[in-house]
Structure 1
Amino acid sequence: MTEAEAYDIVLGHNSAAATVCQGVPVQVEFWHVVLTSVAGRVSYTMNSAQREQVAIDGRRTVTVKAPKGFEARDCGGTLTAVYLGKPLTEAEMPVELDPAGSGGGDVEFTTDRVAFSVAFMPGSGDELRQCHL
């Protein structure tokens, strides 16, 4: 697996679960996260890099490829979510992201529509101190 493929999302075939007659619409969204640190306080902004709707029926595998160049960098990270229904609203987005979660971790959204999420952030400490406005 290449580094770029590590950010791809694979959904689909599950022999332990029942299949459905019609596919269930699922959104897969990728965000770039820009971190800033001012006076020791970390803040972030997120910009959607790609959102794709796919239908999942349990019979076949669907791969949603991450956008080209989608990876965590010095002062930026990534956030990926798989969710049901319409695009997420601002009120449903995470209230905070942990910049220390450089190895990738689940993110808490303010909605129960998100079935899966993962964020990759740059490290903390000296690396994060470089991220000034």
Structure 2
Amino acid sequence: MKSVRRFTHDVLCLWQIGDEKRDAAVLIVDELAINAVQHGRTDMTLLLTLNGAVLRIAVADTGPYVPHPDAGLDPDEHGRGVGIVKHLADRVEFHEGARRCLAYAWLRVQSLADSSVECGAAA
């Protein structure tokens, strides 16, 4: 997952998104990617788009949508990711298709193009 976090961090730095929103977006991507890896079958796709002040994060995988954690899993270890995403994002949607699950998260951001954005190493 480190490469997904790094990619997201670097793109948002390029788009000059400030630290707070960039960190939230990186965490959203991380949680959605972890779900895709855990529940998907083979492929995962990440799409980041910036339209004005709205960042859209889309993660697609080839597995079914899993709305609730498996009853056999320890609740301290599983099931909080979607809650974290819903807390950080302004809007979240999940769509299950015949062969894939799509997760979307929208986040209102402000580009800091007129000021300096410090972009150190990603987590």
Q: TM-score by structure 2 length? A: 0.28
Q: Which has the higher strand share?
A: 1
Larger Rg: 1
Higher helix share: 2
- Of structures 1 and 2, the one scoring higher in RCO (CA 8 A, sep 6+) is 2
